[in-house]
Structure 1
Amino acid sequence: MIQTSKHRDFYPEFIFQVSRSGGPGGQNVNKVSSKVELRFSIAESALLTPEEKTVLQEKLANRITNEGYLQIICQTERSQLANKEACVKKFYELLQKAFTRLKPRKATKPSKAIKEQRLQSKKHQSEKKATRLKLKPGDV
């Protein structure tokens, strides 16, 4: 059974890197390094079991770099601290989403009423289109 990630503290294994945020923002954006990049090595993590590591590498493959780091970038907030907190929150949400198992879909058949309704609709459409046809002299 996979333990929920809320009960584990991954913070010591995080690698944070800050840089200047892109986009509009006036003078502040040119002076302050508010963009935060969180990097987490899945393969080197001591808190994850081998089963959990394989699940993460499969489900989060598009977010993992060639070096094997899970990379999360936040630059929406004006302050570095807020972006850092947003990155950590996003990390835990990604873990939670990756570890939740989807319920298997139960196959169902359409009911008789739905089948009848579909056939009536098709019949109605057919009649509507038949009235649009031009009559030929021999059809009357």
Structure 2
Amino acid sequence: MSLSFVRSAGPGGQNVNKVATAAQLRFDLERSTALASGVKARLRALSGRRLTTEGAILIVARSHRTQEGNRRDAQERLIELIRRALVAPKPRKPSRPPPGARERRLDHKRRVRTTKRLRARPSWEE
């Protein structure tokens, strides 16, 4: 995990141009030995566009005016991301639609079929 500070964007006058307050937290997911492979896979999926081509998670925090505030914000966001990845999703139990739902679906299909048949131009053969 590495932390660097860059110049922030947005309003702030001369201070924005002089002081590097935006925090960039880089967590190398591929080289991390603390996380299991399943957690890494879920973390990769949760990271989305924060995942770099090298396999690192890049979190940029620039909402605070101080380095300390942005550093804390970036670390908290990484911790929250890892916490969400640690929880394995429950496996889905396959279920079938109840008979009433199936009957309603088929009844609706019959009604639509009849309506469309009534819209058609009558044929002379009947």
Tell me if TM exceeds 0.5: yes
Partner of 2:60: 73
Cα offset, 1:26, TM superposition: 5.0
Cα offset, 1:74, TM superposition: 1.6
- Percentage of pairs with the same residue: 27
Cα pair distance change 1:121/1:132, threshold 3 Å: same
**Does residue 89 of structure 1 match 2:76?**
yes
**Does residue 116 of structure 1 match 2:103?**
yes
Structure 2, unaligned runs of 5 or more: none
Cα pair distance change 1:130/1:137, threshold 3 Å: same
Question: How many pairs does the alignment contain?
Answer: 119
Amino acid at match of 1:25: P
**Does residue 37 of structure 1 match 2:20?**
no
Out of 22, 38, 43, the residue aligned to residue 55 of structure 1 is 38
Cα pair distance change 1:123/1:44, threshold 3 Å: closer
Partner of 1:133: 120
SS class of match (1:60): helix
Counterparts of 2:64 and 2:43, CA distance in 1: 24
Cα offset, 1:53, TM superposition: 4.3
Cα offset, 1:124, TM superposition: 1.0
Cα offset, 1:70, TM superposition: 3.7
Counterparts of 1:56 and 1:65, CA distance in 2: 19
Contact 1:35 1:75 in 2 (8 A): yes
Counterparts of 2:102 and 2:91, CA distance in 1: 25
Counterparts of 1:76 and 1:112, CA distance in 2: 54
Contact 2:60 2:74 in 1 (8 A): yes
SS class of match (1:104): coil
SS class of match (1:72): strand
Out of 4, 16, 21, the residue aligned to residue 8 of structure 2 is 21
Cα pair distance change 1:137/1:64, threshold 3 Å: closer
State the TM-score, normalizing by the size of structure 1: 0.69
